[in-house]
């Protein structure tokens, strides 16, 4: 046995990957000149691509004029509304998604809402993937996807998001500050903490003390951890943790036949009642309602708009 090991030369290896990914509301729509969508927010990233026509998107008081081919990126929790801007309406393609991955989140969280023109290098690189997904959505409208088609759709989405992040890095030419590097380490620690909690079923206990544990591991105070993370990611560490848990809960509800009691246990909640209360605080509906709506619609339900924040 020792001779076999000594004679073995490893010439390639990728790291273990465990990513919680949630894709929701991928759709293509044609709307009229009087169409509007009221102010709302959601706990997911959004890519909004205008295929034909003109529209106006208001994001936290700032107006973005989107024309044919322009792409708009919106972060979670950002209040926004939109309406037609032309006399003939417009056609758009929209993707809502969440990815519980520290490296990916780091790239996106440092950027505010941004509109990229159709002539920009970023949109030119993304256009083939956006077009492929538009065609996929159109061809499979109101159809239940087979396992093979679902995987092909995910592959196209990951190609899109991978290219998006790559282009953002090249276009914006960011150099991480010490504060951003520290926030990234905090995010990585949160991810590790959640993976450990899911493995050992201790989310409730961990939720109360994970900031303190991360602070100790980085030789910081809990207040420093909260302040640095808030400044870079735009949210508290506890909220970031809750978003990852929400994404995992939604995935389990939509992609498995596990009972809600079993899902609550996997997520580390001591009772399904506590998990149900927490899930309802997150998105306004109980997990049973969320799953039931998905089953009736044969697809993930849209999260109802949250009340508008005071500004």
Q: What DSSP string describes 295-309?
A: HHHTSPPPPPPPPPP
- Mean pLDDT of all residues in 3-31: 76
For residue 55, is pLDDT > 80? yes
pLDDT band at 33 (very low <50, low <70, confident <90, very high): very high
Which has the closest alpha carbon to 95: 73, 115, 79?
73
232 versus 207: the higher-pLDDT residue is 232
| Superfamily of 20-172 according to CATH | Regulatory protein AraC (2.60.120.280)
Share of the chain above pLDDT 90, in %: 25
Judge whether 20-172 and 178-297 match in fold: no
The two structure tokens encoding residue 286: 């109980």
Q: What is the mean pLDDT of residues 51-65?
A: 92
Q: Which residue has the higher pLDDT, 8 or 36?
A: 36
Q: How many CB atoms lie within 10 A of CB 192?
A: 14
**Residue 310: what pLDDT?**
33
pLDDT computed for residue 304 by the predictor: 39
Distance between CA atoms of residues 27 and 136, nearest Å: 10
77 φ/ψ angles, rounded to the nearest 5 degrees? 75, 5
pLDDT at 117: 93
Overall average pLDDT of the 163-176 stretch: 71
Supply 281's token pair. Answer: 């605080």
| Two tokens, residue 79 | 């209040």
pLDDT at 41: 81
pLDDT for position 257: 84
Lowest-confidence segment of 20-24, 48-52, 242-246 by average pLDDT: 20-24
pTM over 0.85? The answer is no
More confident residue, 300 or 9: 9
Beta bridge partners of 99: 21
Tell me the two tokens of residue 138. 């159109």
Lookup result for tokens 């159709």? 118
Residues 64-69: contacts with CB within 8 Å, 24+ apart? 64/113, 64/115, 65/115, 66/115, 67/117, 67/118, 68/118, 69/117, 69/118, 69/119, 69/123, 69/127
In the predicted structure, residue 141 carries a pLDDT above the cut 60: yes
Q: Residues 6 or more apart from 205 whose CB is under 8 A from it? A: none
CATH topology classification for 178-297:
Arc Repressor Mutant, subunit A (1.10.10)
Helices assigned H by DSSP within the chain: 2-6, 102-109, 121-139, 147-172, 178-200, 203-217, 222-233, 237-255, 260-266, 272-283, 287-297
Domain borders along the chain are: 20-172, 178-297
Examine the pLDDT at 16 and tell me if it is beyond 80. no
The band of 84, judged by pLDDT with boundaries at 50, 70 and 90, is very high
pLDDT at 148 over 80: yes
* Tokens 């088609």, residue located: 149
What proportion of the chain, given as a percentage, has pLDDT over 70? 81
pLDDT tens digit string along 245-300? 887 888 888 778 889 998 888 888 888 898 999 899 888 899 988 888 765 544 44
What is the average pLDDT across 108-124? 83
pLDDT band at 175 (very low <50, low <70, confident <90, very high): low
Alpha-helical regions (H) of 2-43: 2-6
**pLDDT confidence band for 1 (50 / 70 / 90):** low
Residues facing residue 82 across a β-bridge: 37, 57
Sheet holding 45-53, edge to edge: 20-31, 90-100, 45-53, 71-74, 114-116
């Amino acid at each position: 046995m020792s001779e076999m090991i000594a004679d073995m030369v490893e010439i390639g290896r990728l790291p273990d990957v465990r990513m919680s990914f949630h894709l929701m509301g991928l759709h293509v729509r044609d709307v009229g000149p009087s169409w509007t969508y009221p102010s709302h927010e959601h706990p997911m990233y959004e890519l909004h691509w205008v295929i034909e026509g003109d529209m106006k998107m208001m994001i936290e008081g700032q107006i973005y004029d989107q024309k044919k081919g322009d792409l708009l990126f919106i972060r979670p929790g950002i209040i926004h509304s939109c309406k037609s801007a032309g006399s003939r309406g417009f056609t758009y393609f929209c993707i809502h998604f969440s990815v519980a991955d520290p490296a990916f989140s780091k790239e996106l969280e440092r950027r505010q809402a941004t509109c990229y023109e159709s002539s920009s290098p970023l949109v030119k690189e993304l256009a083939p993937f956006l077009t492929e997904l538009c065609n996929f959505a159109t061809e499979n409208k109101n159809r239940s996807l087979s396992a093979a088609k679902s995987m092909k759709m995910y592959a196209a989405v990951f190609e899109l998001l991978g290219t998006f992040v790559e282009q953002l890095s090249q276009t914006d030419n960011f150099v991480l500050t010490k504060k951003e590097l520290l926030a990234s380490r905090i995010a990585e620690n949160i991810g590790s903490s959640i993976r450990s909690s899911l493995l050992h079923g201790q989310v409730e206990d961990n939720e109360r003390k994970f900031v303190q544990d991360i602070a100790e591991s980085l030789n910081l105070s809990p207040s420093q951890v909260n302040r640095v993370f808030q400044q870079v990611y735009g949210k508290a560490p506890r909220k970031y943790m809750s978003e990852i848990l929400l994404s995992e809960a939604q995935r389990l509800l939509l992609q498995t036949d596990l009972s809600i009691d079993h899902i609550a246990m996997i997520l580390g909640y001591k009772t399904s009642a506590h998990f149900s209360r927490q899930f309802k605080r997150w998105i306004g509906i109980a997990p049973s309602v969320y799953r039931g709506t998905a089953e009736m619609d044969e697809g993930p339900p849209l999260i109802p708009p949250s009340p508008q924040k005071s500004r």
